[in-house]
Each structure stands twice: as C-alpha cells, then as structure tokens.
Amino acid sequence: MTLDPENWGDLRAAGHRMLDEMFDYLAHLRDQPVWREMPPEVRGHFKTGALPQAPQAIDEVYQEFAQYVLPYAGGNLHPAFMGWVQGGGTPAGMLAEMLAGALNANLGGRDHAPVAVEQQVAAWMRQLFRFPDAATGIFVTGTSQANLIAALIARGEALGLASRKSGAGAVKLRAYASAAAHSCIARAMDFAGLGSDALRLIPFDGRQRIDIAALEKTIAADRKTGAAPFMVVATAGTVDVGAIDDLKAVGAVCRAEKLWFHIDGAYGALGMLAEEIAPRLAGIEAADSIALDFHKWGQAPYDAGFILVRDGEKHKAAFATPAAYLRRETRGMAGGDFWPTDYGPDLSRGFRALKVWFTLKTYGAERMGRMIARTCELARYLEKQVRALPELELLAPADLSIVCFRYRASDAANAEIVADLHCSGIAAPSLTTIGGKRAIRCAIFNHRTEERDIDALLEAVLRFGKARA
Ligand SMILES: *Cc1c(COP(=O)(O)O)cnc(C)c1O
C-alpha cells in the first residue's frame, strides 16, 4: 500500500512546476503587496469541508495552495516587511528544506550523517562565540525554547541533579532580566515550575540596557529574604529597540554572585558575523549559555532556534535519561556518540540544521555579516529621514536595526497609520509603546530591504498621517 506514485514522471513534472513557480514568486516579491487580508471567501475556504477521503491529484492540491494560501502569507519575505523581528528566508534555505523533507531524517539520535551536520553547525557556533570544545549545542524551534532549556540547566545546577526527580521543593529560585527582556523568559520560569514571579524584572537605562546597580541591589535584597538567586539573562538585542545589555558587566555580576549567565541573543547574537557589530557584543564569549535564532538575522526559513551551552556535561545532565528503548550500542545504527535527545526535551526532531548549513555555506559568513551590517545601515538611513521630517518624532534611535518613531498625532492615529500601511500593502511596520507613547516600530531584518522601500514607507506614513490627523 505504498504512497509513492505509480508514475514518477507525472510527479516529477508537477514538482518542477512548483519549484519554477516558487522561484518566480521569490524573484518578483516587490511587485506584490507586503500583505493582503484574506477575503471572506478565502477565510471561509479553510473553515468548511470534511476530512478529505478520496485521493486528489497533487497538481490540484497545489493549485488550491497557489490560489488560497500563497497570496495571503505573512509577508515577512517582502522587502518592505518591517514588523516584529522576522527574517526573510532565502532560496538556498528553501531548497534545503526540500532536501531535508526528502531525507525525512529523525535527529533524536543514532548514527547518521544528519546528526553530524547538526554537530558541524554547533562547532561553527563554538568558533563564532569563542566557546570551548566542551560546549554543546542543538537546534530547537526558537529562542523561546532555547531560553527554557537554559533555565532548566541553570535550575539543575542550582538545586543539584536530585532535583530532577524530587522537584524544586521549598527553595525559592530567582532569576533576573531587564524589564526590556522578551516575555518568553517569564514563560520559561513558569514552564520550569518556578512560576513567572521567579523572574525579577530590573529597570533599564535611557537606552533600554539593564541597570547593573539595580541588578546587584535586587540580588542582595533577595538573598536577605532567603530566596536563592540562580541565573541572570542578559539580552543581546531587545525586541523593542535592539538594545544590547552590557554583557561584560552582567558577566562580572554572575561570576561574583555565582549565578548562571545566560544571554538571550535571539536577535543580536548573530551580529558576531558583522565586523562592526561584534565588538558591541564583547562579553558574550563568557556566557554559560546563549540562545539565538537563525530565522531572524540568519535568514534561515522558520523555524531555526539554537541553544549553545559552555559546559556540555551540565547540558547533558539536565536532560539525559536512561531508557532501555533508547540504549546506545557501540556498532550499527544505534551507535553514535552524540544523541541530541540528551540535550533537550525532544526525542523525534527534524533536520533543521540542514537549512542553516546550506545558508552558511552558500552565502558564506562574511557575506552574511555584511548583510546584517547593511540592515543596521538602513535603520540609520531611516532614523536620519525621520529626524528631518517635522511631522515625525523619533522615539528610539537605530541602536541596531530597529527604529521607533511616531507621527505627531494621537496614539490612536498612529495605530491607524500602521493598519493603513498593512492594508495598503505598501509596508509593514509593527506597533509598540515607547515612553508611554504609541510608536511605529520598523525592524529591518530582511536582506531584501533597500532605501527605496524605506522611502516608500515614509511617503505613505506622511500621506496616511495627514489623512488621519
Ligand atoms: C524573537 C525573540 C525571542 C523569541 O524567539 P522565538 O524564536 O520567537 O521563540 C526571544 N527574545 C528575543 C530578544 C527575541 O527577539
């Protein structure tokens, strides 16, 4: 009862058509709106219909995809997409996804080349961050998961291995991050069984970097009340404005206080690839663990998060379990010296590594670095234009590749301007709040973005702003 075709020739032709059309799609992104709202007919299309019982030609299924899915995708491939923190993907990444799908590899463990590919990417990350050979790393869905893994390792380190069986007991563990840190860190505390209140949010300075004196004070105050500080999460590239905490200073606090030093580098860690950004990440090499996302600045297709841990033994101690069914043999397929399942919560795992391996090899680290630096240059261009326009007020300058500003009108008008931009398909910034004011937030992560996209955005902001004010 095989699901392979009787006639590979027909399938081959259908496959080639899909591939050609996807190349055309990628080659002409700028001719399309950034985003289209799904009309009721399209929305309704996915809400009706029973479980498909009879088979259908793959061509027909593809036609349905081309008509109902493709035109209404999230927009993050488009050069004028500037919302949230999202990468644009690449043709190399797309092809690697196809190859990974063809291999259908399960990277939980065992002895096969896909695991070796993942470990080669881990070795590259050790080089990039100047981590020791004993450091370990695996792919995960994203930084939300990578931060959780770091919290679990740090929890084990603080409570001892027996706690994996007995739980945290009465110990009141406390973690620290700036108030500008990503919300997934509080969720990680929740998922780790510590409760999200275990995360103490520390005030930040005028550039949204963690206030080191306040951090030290809070740790001392917690110790006085009998709580047990166990980790500090520094952010390299905050979501709102792209601020980088003083990593050296946070590292020094962690060393002095004997706390786990984790860095949320979802956004900024890959700045290490860019000559002009790497110096600003000084201190990252001293972290106990780094979380990062290849699907942001790294431009790999979703999803591709990564966790790198300085002490591989501690990493393994937090996740490995003896299960007879997962017994390691010295020969044959059940061999293999590195089983990723020992380093994270997943057993079955896909071949995320391949798209990153392809991306880094196809474009090369140097070009990736220049692409990253270019997004920052474009942000500075946008900042300069905003400063020059009397209708606009700059709210957060381009620290990395994010600029926040507002049209000089009400908060509600600014929210409407952003919705107008989305619905017109001209550009897609997102909204945030800076210093109590609604801000139009432009995060430039897309390798396709050019000055003309920024010019088009500003022209539209002025036009919609005038109409709304
Ligand atoms: C995007 C982001 C996250 C969340 O990462 P996911 O990959 O979406 O899970 C966490 N922290 C920062 C700073 C981010 O930019």
> What count of other Cβ atoms lies within 10 Å of the Cβ of residue 453?
23
Q: Which of 76, 84, 139, 143 to mutate to test the pocket of ligand 1 (most atoms within 8 A of CB)?
A: 143
DSSP state of 278: G
236-292 confidence digits (pLDDT tens): 999 999 999 999 999 999 999 999 999 999 999 999 999 999 999 999 999 999 999
Residue indicated by tokens 């999803």 = 303
**Average pLDDT over the chain, rounded to an integer:** 96
Q: How confident is the model at residue 328 (pLDDT cuts 50, 70, 90)?
A: confident
Residue 48's pLDDT is 85
- Residue 208 parent element (H or E): none
Residue 391 alpha carbon to ligand 1 centre in Å: 32
What pLDDT is recorded for position 332?
92
Instruction: Give tens-digit pLDDT for 111-166.
Output: 999 999 999 999 999 999 999 999 999 999 999 999 999 999 999 999 998 899 88
Closest ligand 1 atom to 146 CA: 9
Task: Give the model's pLDDT for residue 327.
Answer: 80
Three-state secondary-structure class, residue 27? helix
Atom of ligand 1 nearest to the CA of 293: 7
Ligand 1 lined by 77 (C-beta under 6 Å) = no
Which pLDDT value is given to residue 312? 98
Chain Cα centroid distance, residue 17? 31
Percentage of the chain modeled with pLDDT above 90: 94
- Phi and psi (nearest 5°) for 110? 80, 180
State which ligand 1 atom lies nearest to the alpha carbon of 305: 7
Confidence of residue 170 (pLDDT cuts 50, 70, 90): confident
* Ligand 1: residue whose CA is nearest its atom 7: 142
Average pLDDT of span 341-363 = 97
pTM: 0.97
Ligand 1 close to Cβ of residue 184 (< 6 A): yes
The tens digit of pLDDT for each residue in 17-71 reads: 999 999 999 999 999 999 999 999 999 999 988 999 999 999 999 999 999 999 9
pLDDT at 167: 86
Mind listing the pLDDT tens digit for each residue in 60-112? Answer: 999 999 999 999 999 999 999 999 999 999 999 999 999 999 999 999 999 99
Q: What angle do CA 309, 302, 276 make, to 5 degrees?
A: 60
Quick one: pLDDT at residue 179? 98
Residues in the chain: 469
pLDDT over 90 at 344, yes or no: yes
| CA-237 nearest atom, ligand 1 | 13
CA of 431 to the centre of ligand 1 (A): 17
Which has more pLDDT, 11 or 169? 11
Residues facing residue 263 across a β-bridge = 234, 290
Mean pLDDT to the nearest integer, 313-336: 88
Q: Is the CB of 267 under 6 A from ligand 1?
A: yes
Give the whole-angstrom CA distance, residue 200 versus residue 189: 11
- Evaluate: CB of 142 within 6 angstroms of ligand 1: yes
Quick one: average pLDDT of 312-337?
88
| CA separation for the pair 461, 409 (Å, rounded) | 12
402 close to ligand 1 (CB < 6 Angstrom)? no
Position 323 pLDDT exceeds 80 = no
Question: What residues are paired with 264 via a beta bridge?
Answer: 235, 291
Please give the span between the terminal C-alpha atoms of the chain, in angstroms, as a whole number.
65
Is the distance from the beta carbon of residue 270 to the nearest atom of ligand 1 less than 6 Å?
Answer: no
Confidence class for position 326, pLDDT limits 50, 70, 90: confident
Q: In a 10 Å sphere around its CB, with 0-12 CB exposed, 13-18 middle and 19+ buried, how is residue 348 labelled?
A: exposed
What is the distance in A from the centroid of ligand 1 to the CA of 73? 21
The answer to whether the CB of 97 falls within 8 A of the CB of 353 is no
What is residue 183's predicted lDDT score, i.e. its pLDDT? Answer: 98
Is 375 touching ligand 1 by the criterion CB < 6 Å? no
Arithmetic mean of pLDDT, 397-415: 97
What average pLDDT does this structure show over 347-372? 98
Cα 55 to ligand 1 centroid, rounded to whole Å: 40
pLDDT of residue 49: 83
How many whole angstroms from 231 Cα to the centroid of ligand 1? 18
Structure tokens given for 460: 């539209």
State whether the beta carbon of 349 lies less than 6 angstroms from ligand 1.
no
Residue whose pair of structure tokens reads 């590195």 in the numeric block: 338
| Pair 272, 261: CB distance under 8 Å | no
Q: Ligand 1 centroid vs 370 CA: distance in angstroms? A: 22
Of 141, 149, 182, 187, the residue with max ligand 1 atoms within 8 A of its CB, to mutate for a pocket test, comes to 182
All domains of the chain, ordered by start, with CATH?
Answer: 106-350 (3.40.640.10)
Closest residue to atom 12 of ligand 1, CA basis: 266
Calculate how far, in angstroms, residue 182's C-alpha sits from the geometric centre of ligand 1: 7
Provide the β-strand partners of residue 431. Answer: 440
What are the tens digits of pLDDT across the range 219-244?
999 999 999 999 999 999 999 999 99
Q: Kindly state the tokens that stand for 146.
A: 């990578």
Nearest CA to ligand 1 atom 14: 266
**Binding site membership of 305 for ligand 1 (Cβ less than 6 Å):** yes
What is the Cα Rg of the chain in Å?
24
In the chain, the amino acid numbered 376 is C
Average pLDDT over residues 327-356: 94
**For 104-210, where are the alpha helices, taking DSSP H only?**
113-128, 143-159, 163-166, 184-191
Which protein residue's CA is at the shortest distance from atom 5 of ligand 1?
Answer: 143
Q: Three-state SS for 19?
A: helix
Alpha helices in 38-142 (DSSP H): 40-45, 58-68, 91-103, 113-128
Contacts of 6 (CB under 8 A, 6+ apart): none
Say yes or no: CB of residue 85 within 6 Å of ligand 1.
yes
Amino acid occupying residue 206: G
Ligand 1 site-directed mutation target among 76, 139, 144, most atoms within 8 Å of CB: 144
The CB of 293 under 6 Å from ligand 1? The reply is: yes
- From edge to edge, which strands make up the β-sheet containing 392-396? 81-82, 428-434, 437-443, 402-407, 392-396
Q: How far is CA 452 from CA 82, 344, 371, 455, in A?
A: 14, 43, 17, 5
Question: Does the N-terminal peptide bond of residue 303 adopt cis geometry, omega within 30 degrees of 0?
Answer: yes
Ligand 1 neighbourhood includes 445 CB (under 6 angstroms): no
The per-residue pLDDT for 20 is: 98
- Centroid of ligand 1 to alpha carbon of 150 (angstroms): 14
Give the mean model confidence (pLDDT) for residues 438-449. 98
